[in-house]
C-alpha cells in the first residue's frame, strides 16, 4: 500500500515537474480535430479576430434576347444587382437558430460576404444579348440548366470570381401549363445560373435567399433536408414553405438556408464549419475566388493570444501574431502569416507546434519566429510533431517534446 502511494507521489512530482518545465499543452474540444474536419473551422466567438471574415468576389451577367425584350435593361439591371448583393450580404451578416437543430445548438456568425469585383474599365455587371443563351429551362425536353455554354462564352475570371448569370425562363416554357416559371438556380463550379428573378417583377430584396442558397452549394453544402453529413441538420420531408399554426407545418417548418422555405436564413455550426473548411483549403476552387486579404500585413489586424487557444484547422492571419505572457497557443494545421509579419512568443508565453505548416500562402517572405529575451528568459516554443517553416528564416529556439 505504502509502495503504491510512494509511486503515485513520485509520479505526481514528475508530472508537476513536467508541467512546470513545459507548461500545460492546451487542450480544448478542438484539440481532437484535425485540418480536414469541419469542427476545426468554427468561428470562435470569444476570439473573432482569429478567423478574419472572408470576402467572396462576384460578378453578374444579365442575359437577354437580341432585341433586349427578355431581361433587365442596363440601368435597371445595375440597380437590381447592387440591391441583390446588398440584401444577400445583409442575410449573411445575420444568423438565427436553425429550427430543426437539437436544442442548445450554437448560433455562430457566418463570417463571409460578397464583394462585386469589376475588371479595369467596367463595374462587374455585364449585359449580353444572345438568342440561344439568354434562357434557362430546368425541366423537360429542352432542359439546359446543367449546360455550361453560357459560362464558357461569357464567363469573366471564372478561376477567381463567382460568376452569376441571371437568365429567364423562355416564353414557350412559361406558356406550358406544366412548367412553373419560379425562382430557379444551379451551381456549376465557380458559377451560378439563376432564372425567374426578372419574370417575378419584384424588388431584388426577397431574391437574396436564392443567391445565398446557390452559393451555399458552390461552397460544398448539400440540401439540409437530405443526408448532408451534418449532425446538426435533420432529415425531413421539406414540404413546408412557411410555418403555420396548424400541423404538419407547425412542427415541420424549417428556416435553413439549404432547405426550400420562405426564410432560408439559418446555418448550423456544421454548415458554417464546412464552408470555412472549403475556403481554407489550398486546392479549393472557391478559395481562389476570395479576396486574398492574408497576403500583406494589414494595420489593426494583429492577433495577441492571452489565454489558452487551439487552432486545429488552417488559419490565414492578416497581422502579426503574439503569444503574450500567460498565453498558450497550439497550432495543428496550416498557418499563413502576411508578408513581413512575425510570430512573437514573449517570456511567459507558450507556443505548441503540432505538425504545423507555417507559411505565407501567397509565397511572400515573412519574418518567422521571434523569442525576445527578458531577464535571461524567453518564451517557449515546443514541437509536439515536426513543424514546417516556409518563406521565412529558420526558427531559433524550438524545443522538442
Ligand atoms: Zn439547392
Which tens digit of pLDDT belongs to each residue from 173-207? 888 888 888 899 999 999 999 999 999 888 898 89
| Phi, psi (degrees; rounded to nearest 5) at 393 | -60, 155
pLDDT number for residue 25: 73
Rounded to a whole number, what is the distance in angstroms from the first to the last CA of the chain? 33
> What is the four-CA torsion angle of 267, 271, 274, 279, rounded to 10 degrees?
-20
What CATH architecture is 54-278? Answer: 3-Layer(aba) Sandwich (3.40)
CA distances from 287 to 204, 224, 265, 275, 276 (A): 27, 23, 23, 10, 9
Integer Cα distance of 312 and 335 in angstroms? 10
- Ligand 1 centroid, distance to 215 Cα (angstroms): 9
- Ligand 1 centroid, distance to 267 Cα (angstroms): 14
Burial of 199 (0-12, 13-18, 19+ CB in 10 A): middle
- Ligand 1 centroid, distance to 327 Cα (angstroms): 44
Would the pLDDT of 14 be above 70? no
- Ligand 1 centroid, distance to 214 Cα (angstroms): 6
pLDDT number for residue 151: 98
Please list, in sequence order, all residues whose beta carbon lies within 8 angstroms of the beta carbon of residue 124, skipping any fewer than 6 positions away: 58, 59, 60, 116, 117, 118
CB 266 within 8 A of CB 259: no
- Ligand 1 centroid, distance to 270 Cα (angstroms): 17
- Ligand 1 centroid, distance to 262 Cα (angstroms): 14
| Phi, psi (degrees; rounded to nearest 5) at 285 | -65, -35
- Ligand 1 centroid, distance to 202 Cα (angstroms): 21
Would the pLDDT of 17 be above 50? no
Q: What share of the chain has pLDDT > 70, as a percent?
A: 92
Q: What is the mean pLDDT of the chain?
A: 91
Q: What is the distance, to the nearest Å, from the Cα of residue 94 to the centroid of all Cα atoms in its chain?
A: 14
Say which residue, 350 or 173, is predicted with more confidence. Answer: 350
pLDDT number for residue 397: 59
Would the pLDDT of 18 be above 50? no
- Ligand 1 centroid, distance to 47 Cα (angstroms): 32
pLDDT number for residue 367: 97
List 81's β-bridge partners, or say none: none
- Ligand 1 centroid, distance to 37 Cα (angstroms): 23
pLDDT level of residue 30 (50, 70, 90 thresholds): low
- Ligand 1 centroid, distance to 228 Cα (angstroms): 12
pLDDT level of residue 228 (50, 70, 90 thresholds): very high
What's the whole-number mean pLDDT along residues 286-304? 98
Q: What share of the chain has pLDDT > 90, as a percent?
A: 81
- Ligand 1 centroid, distance to 325 Cα (angstroms): 48
pLDDT number for residue 141: 87
Q: Which of 109, 115, 114, 116 is nearest to 93 (CA)?
A: 109
- Ligand 1 centroid, distance to 244 Cα (angstroms): 23
Residue 391 has, within 13 A of its CA and on its CB side, a CA count of 19
- Ligand 1 centroid, distance to 213 Cα (angstroms): 6
- Ligand 1 centroid, distance to 259 Cα (angstroms): 7
- Ligand 1 centroid, distance to 224 Cα (angstroms): 9
- Ligand 1 centroid, distance to 60 Cα (angstroms): 20
pLDDT level of residue 13 (50, 70, 90 thresholds): very low
Determine the angle formed by the axes of helices 74-92 and 208-218, rounding to 10 degrees: 70
Amino acid at each position: 500500500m505504502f509502495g503504491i502511494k510512494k509511486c503515485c507521489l513520485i509520479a505526481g512530482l514528475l508530472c508537476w515537474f513536467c508541467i512546470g518545465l513545459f507548461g500545460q499543452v492546451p487542450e480544448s474540444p478542438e484539440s481532437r480535430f484535425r485540418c480536414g474536419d469541419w469542427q476545426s473551422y468554427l468561428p470562435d466567438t470569444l476570439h473573432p479576430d482569429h478567423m478574419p471574415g472572408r470576402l467572396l468576389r462576384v460578378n453578374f451577367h444579365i442575359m437577354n434576347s437580341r432585341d433586349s425584350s427578355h431581361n433587365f435593361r442596363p440601368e435597371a439591371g445595375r440597380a437590381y444587382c447592387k440591391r441583390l448583393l446588398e440584401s444577400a450580404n445583409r442575410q449573411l451578416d445575420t444568423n438565427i437558430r436553425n429550427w430543426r437543430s437539437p436544442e442548445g445548438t450554437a448560433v455562430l456568425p457566418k463570417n463571409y460576404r460578397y464583394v462585386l469585383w469589376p475588371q479595369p474599365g467596367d463595374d462587374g455587371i455585364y449585359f449580353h444579348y444572345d438568342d440561344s443563351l439568354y434562357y434557362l429551362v430546368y425541366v423537360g425536353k429542352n432542359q439546359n440548366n446543367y449546360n455550361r455554354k453560357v459560362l464558357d462564352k461569357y464567363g469573366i475570371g471564372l478561376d477567381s470570381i463567382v460568376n452569376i448569370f441571371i437568365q429567364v425562363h423562355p416564353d414557350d416554357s412559361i406558356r406550358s401549363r406544366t412548367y412553373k416559371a419560379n425562382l430557379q438556380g444551379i451551381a456549376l463550379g465557380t458559377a451560378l445560373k439563376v432564372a425567374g428573378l426578372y419574370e417575378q417583377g419584384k424588388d431584388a430584396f426577397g431574391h437574396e435567399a436564392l443567391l445565398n442558397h446557390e452559393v451555399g452549394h458552390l461552397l460544398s453544402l448539400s440540401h439540409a433536408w437530405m443526408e448532408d453529413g451534418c449532425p446538426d441538420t435533420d432529415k425531413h420531408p421539406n414540404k413546408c414553405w412557411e410555418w403555420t399554426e396548424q400541423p404538419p407545418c407547425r412542427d415541420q417548418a424549417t428556416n435553413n438556408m439549404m432547405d426550400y422555405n420562405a426564410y432560408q436564413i439559418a446555418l448550423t455550426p456544421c454548415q458554417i464549419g464546412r464552408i470555412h473548411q472549403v475556403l481554407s483549403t489550398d486546392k479549393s476552387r472557391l478559395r481562389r475566388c476570395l479576396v486574398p486579404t492574408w497576403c500583406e500585413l494589414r494595420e489593426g489586424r494583429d492577433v495577441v493570444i492571452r489565454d489558452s487557444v487551439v487552432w486545429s484547422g488552417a488559419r490565414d492571419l492578416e497581422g502579426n501574431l503574439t503569444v503574450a505572457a500567460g498565453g498558450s497557443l497550439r497550432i495543428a494545421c496550416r498557418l499563413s502569416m502576411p508578408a513581413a509579419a512575425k510570430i512573437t512568443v514573449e517570456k511567459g508565453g507558450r507556443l505548441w507546434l503540432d505538425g504545423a505548416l507555417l507559411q505565407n500562402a501567397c509565397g511572400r517572405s515573412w519574418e518567422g519566429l521571434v523569442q525576445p529575451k527578458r531577464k535571461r528568459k524567453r518564451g517557449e516554443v515546443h514541437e509536439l510533431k515536426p513543424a514546417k517553416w516556409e518563406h521565412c528564416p529558420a526558427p531559433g529556439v524550438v524545443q522538442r517534446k
